[in-house]
């Protein structure tokens, strides 16, 4: 049985992945520091069932603390790593760039140092579609220029990709960078736009719409993302790769609002605002590489995903 270390294990993607790994009979070691980016209670709820599984070991720890990491790595046999822990969010990174650099870059180097010390040869890591910046291409392919990030968050993820390549080259580590495209679904972080809009529509509060509503996002349902991550854990044909994990189906902001209105059964009250600094107008994932090498095939349409998300949200009320 493979033993997988998951960082950021109490978060939206991390906890969803842990549940799926346990369902597939992996042994899992989880790390999360319960950062104050949102409610600790929500994160504890995310891992409540997993903690009952005898194949799960969980540590409250911070990837910035290399001494704590060393203790965890020394106490456990770890075959592979899924590194998801990071400070997320474009706008907040503009206000707190130093915090993002500490967690997203220094924290990642700490994980790489543990891989080197404990001879762990395989890691799948969360990158982000934000590394593409204001890309003008019709579709974002992995070989496009990512040297012009427009937020500190994007810059940290682009830096992580380069540092991980360096460790792959120097120490023969297999590292696969997964560029996630706007993940949504049950357990979604409260600060993500679909969650904010749903809450405000349900509670008859206005939603802030930046621009004219024509901006587009390649929304990707959580189950498709976790399937892609697990596929990357079994991939070993090349030592370092970057993969887009998206839906290949951009949705306009106005259309997303209409789908929320339809599933909630209420009309949104809209407050129009100018586009903020750091925001990207459009994302559109070219997933042909992930399809070919990882057999990645997103299965959940946006309409179905929003329906599942609102069903889950109604159960939380």
Contacts with 43 (C-beta within 8 Å, 6 or more apart), sequence order = 10, 11, 15, 32, 34
How far, in Å, CA of 183 to CA of 38, rounded?
Answer: 17
245, 287 Cβ separation under 8 angstroms:
yes
Determine which one of 26, 153, 219, 221 is catalytic.
153
How far, in Å, CA of 78 to CA of 68, rounded?
Answer: 15
How far, in Å, CA of 21 to CA of 37, rounded?
Answer: 25
Q: Is 42 exposed, middle or buried (0-12, 13-18, 19+ CB in 10 A)?
A: middle
Contacts with 196 (C-beta within 8 Å, 6 or more apart), sequence order = 190, 207
Which has the closest alpha carbon to 176: 239, 112, 107? 239
DSSP 8-class letter at 282: B
DSSP 8-class letter at 274: P
Q: Identify whether 153 is a catalytic site residue.
A: yes
How far, in Å, CA of 29 to CA of 246, rounded?
Answer: 26
Catalytic residue numbers?
153
């Amino acid at each position: 049985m493979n033993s997988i270390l998951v960082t950021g294990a109490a978060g939206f993607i991390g906890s969803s992945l842990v549940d799926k790994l346990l369902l597939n009979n992996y042994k899992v070691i989880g790390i999360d520091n319960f950062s104050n980016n949102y409610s600790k209670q929500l994160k504890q709820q995310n891992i409540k069932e997993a903690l009952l599984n005898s194949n799960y070991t969980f540590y409250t720890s911070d990837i910035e603390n290399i001494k704590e990491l060393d203790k965890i790595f020394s106490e456990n046999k770890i075959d592979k790593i899924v590194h998801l822990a990071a400070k997320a969010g474009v706008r907040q990174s503009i206000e707190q760039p130093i915090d993002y650099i500490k967690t997203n870059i220094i924290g990642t180097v700490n994980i790489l140092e543990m891989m080197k010390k404990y001879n762990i040869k395989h890691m799948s890591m969360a990158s982000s579609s934000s590394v593409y910046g204001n890309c003008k291409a019709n579709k974002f392919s992995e070989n496009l220029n990512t040297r012009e990030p427009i937020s500190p968050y994007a810059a940290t993820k682009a830096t992580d990709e380069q540092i991980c390549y360096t460790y792959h080259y120097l120490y023969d580590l297999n590292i696969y960078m997964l560029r996630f495209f706007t993940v949504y679904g049950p357990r979604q972080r409260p600060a993500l736009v679909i969650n904010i809009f749903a809450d405000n529509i349900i509670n008859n509060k206005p939603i802030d719409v930046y621009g004219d509503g024509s901006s587009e996002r390649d929304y990707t349902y959580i189950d498709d993302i976790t399937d892609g991550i697990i596929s990357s854990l079994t991939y070993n044909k090349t030592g370092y790769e970057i993969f887009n994990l998206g839906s290949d189906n951009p949705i306009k902001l106005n259309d997303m609002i209409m789908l929320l209105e339809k599933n909630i059964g209420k009309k949104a009250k809209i407050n129009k605002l100018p586009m903020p600094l750091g925001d990207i107008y459009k994302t559109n994932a070219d997933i042909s590489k992930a399809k070919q090498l990882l057999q990645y095939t997103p299965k959940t349409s946006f309409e179905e995903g929003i329906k599942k998300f609102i069903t889950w949200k109604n159960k939380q009320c």
